A and B are shown apart, each in its own frame.
Chain A
Amino acid sequence: AQSVSQHNHHVILSEAASLELGCNYSYGGTVNLFWYVQYPGQHLQLLLKYFSGDPLVKGIKGFEAEFIKSKFSFNLRKPSVQWSDTAEYFCAVNTGNQFYFGTGTSLTVIP
């Protein structure tokens, strides 16, 4: 089975700081990659996705992620975080018919 690792479990940043959340996966074949965000008390919403092409993908709310095939990584970045970015972030991998999620990173942004 696929495994997805998110190494940062809890991240605390001040507003305007830059953000990078790590995501690594184990499967060596073709994958589709996603980052989802879960605001407190809400369901998961798609931030961005990668299927093919340009390995640098841009999503909503100023987020971007870079797919590095050789490192099996899909790290999420944002140049300047806002208080409203406080949420839990999940990396997900789709291989075949199944989706695999990381354990999530809880981000707290201090005003």
Chain B
Amino acid sequence: EAQVTQNPRYLITVTGKKLTVTCSQNMNHEYMSWYRQDPGLGLRQIYYSMNVEVTDKGDVPEGYKVSRKEKRNFPLILESPSPNQTSLYFCASSLRPGVPGELFFGEGSRLTVL
């Protein structure tokens, strides 16, 4: 089954404790991206990757890091989480933007930073 898998789905952590949210897709998609969803703000793009070893900032990259060492994986790293990073995070992939372009989303990871 074609899917985007995120882990963990739920996480409560404390300020400053490094964490990684994993994302894996099995569709051989070139494009992968991370979003955060906050009430009243919709989804905002954090980082995206056009292919292996190619990453770029989205609209809200501060406090986050990513890496793309393999085509299928795109982990999101919070080196020193802060309470304002409490949010619902979605990973998404696409064959490539524009052709056909639509995003396939993971189930989401709800992160709480105390």
- A interface residues with partner B (beta carbon < 8 Å): 1, 4, 6, 32, 34, 36, 42-46, 49, 51, 90, 92, 94, 96-104
1/0 per residue, CB under 8 A from A, across B78-107: the answer is 000000000000101000011011111111
Q: B48 contacts A49, CB within 8 Å?
A: no
Q: A43 contacts B107, CB within 8 Å?
A: yes
A46 to B90, CA, bound (A): 14
B44 within 8 A of A: yes
Chain B residue at minimum C-beta to C-beta distance from A95? B97
A34 to B42, CA, bound (A): 14
B67 within 8 A of A: no
The majority secondary structure among interface residues of chain A is: strand
Q: A46 contacts B42, CB within 8 Å?
A: no
Give which listed residue, A6, A97, A99, A104, contacts B103 with CB less than 8 A.
Answer: A99
- B interface residues with partner A (beta carbon < 8 Å): 31, 33, 35, 40-45, 48, 50, 56, 58-59, 90, 92, 97-98, 100-108
- The smallest beta-carbon distance between A94 and chain B, in angstroms, is 5
Give which listed residue, B40, B58, B98, B106, contacts A51 with CB less than 8 A.
Answer: B98
Beyond A43-B107, A103-B42, whether A97 also contacts B56 by CB under 8 A is: yes
Q: A46 contacts B40, CB within 8 Å?
A: no
Could you say which of B42, B90, B104 has the most chain A C-beta atoms within 10 Å of its C-beta? B42
Beyond A1-B59, A97-B48, A103-B40, whether A43 also contacts B97 by CB under 8 A is: no
Hey, which chain B residues are within 8 Å of A42, CB to CB? 107
A97 to B50, CA, bound (A): 8
Beyond A100-B45, A102-B42, whether A44 also contacts B102 by CB under 8 A is: no
Hey, which chain A residues are within 8 Å of B42, CB to CB? 4, 6, 90, 101-104
Q: B48 contacts A98, CB within 8 Å?
A: yes
Chain A residue at minimum C-beta to C-beta distance from B103? A99
Nearest 8 Cβ contacts at the A-B interface: A103-B42, A101-B43, A43-B105, A44-B105, A101-B42, A32-B101, A43-B107, A104-B42
- The smallest beta-carbon distance between A107 and chain B, in angstroms, is 15
Q: A49 contacts B108, CB within 8 Å?
A: no
- The smallest beta-carbon distance between B111 and chain A, in angstroms, is 15
